[in-house]
A = this chain, B = another copy of it.
Amino acid sequence: MIRNILLTIEYDGTDFSGWQIQPSDRTVQGEIGRVLKVICGTDVKVNGTSRTDAGVHALGQQASFEADLKGLPPEKLAYVMNNLLAPDVKIREAKVCPPEFHARFSAVGKKYIYKIMNCASRVVFRRNFYYFCERPLDAEKMREAAGKLVGNHDFRSFMAMGSTPQETTVRELYSYDVEWRDLPEMGENAREITLTVTGNGFLYNMVRIMTGTLVEVGLGRIRPEEIPEILEAKDRSRAGHTAPPQGLYLAKVYYSEDQLYGK
């Protein structure tokens, strides 16, 4: 019996060349496909919501596939897959969806988290999970600038050069929160700054370019009031640098109830 299954996936992107399957590199899609082939006895095409880059992590990537589980009850699939998967990927949930559901095309929004460690000296244990900024960042200013990115805008200035041309570069951001906490054990003024952004869609490298721009705001190189001009310019060179992949986490994908459970 062919079923349409939706997986919720957590992974540490450090040792992967990103999500998308590649002939010779280790990828998350490749690793999940390998395990599904063991279970289903045949090649399975796994459709991920987001093609995360090398080094980018996921707390809640989503992927769907159609396959015959060969008698394995779907409620046992996550457990069985986790026993076969490498330790840097974990299936958090597996559930049966209506036949027309597709993890990517059905998605109505996404949430990304970006973690910054703002302290004078690096911590070797966190190097793969944070963007380390050694100079002090003004997080209040970053919060002010993030607020100016929320809404319906043309985000062309925040799309990587050389991206595949898009039908439209207009996207809507629903929220962009900047929160911080002191880390006294890591020295005076050490802080963890967490950026959380939700929107209906994101252009290639958009979250990392927005993060790099907010870091430059935090450093005083860009003023929050310049954000509307940067958006208006529709010019990548006006925005800040591209923040590194290791601070980025795909946190959640949003679907409508109708899509997940059928009408």
Binding site for B on A (CB under 8 A): 10-12, 57, 87-90, 121-125, 127, 129
Query: Is B87's CB under 8 angstroms from A127's CB?
Result: yes
A11 to B125, CA, bound (A): 7
Query: Is A90's CB under 8 angstroms from B124's CB?
Result: yes
Closest 7 CB pairs of A and B: A12-B124, A87-B127, A90-B124, A88-B124, A12-B125, A10-B124, A11-B124
> Pick the contact of A12 from B88, B121, B127 — CB < 8 Å?
B127
Query: Is B87's CB under 8 angstroms from A122's CB?
Result: yes
Query: Is B57's CB under 8 angstroms from A89's CB?
Result: no
Q: A57 — nearest CB in chain B belongs to which residue?
A: B125
A10: B residues at CB distance < 8 A:
123-124
A125: B residues at CB distance < 8 A:
12, 57, 129
A123: B residues at CB distance < 8 A:
10, 90
A90, A123, A124 interface centre (most CB from chain B within 10 Å): A124
CB distance from A257 to the nearest CB of B (A): 25
Given contacts A10-B124, A87-B127, A88-B124, 15 further A-B contacts (CB under 8 A): A10-B123, A11-B124, A12-B124, A12-B125, A12-B127, A57-B125, A87-B122, A87-B124, A88-B127, A89-B124, A90-B121, A90-B122, A90-B123, A90-B124, A125-B129
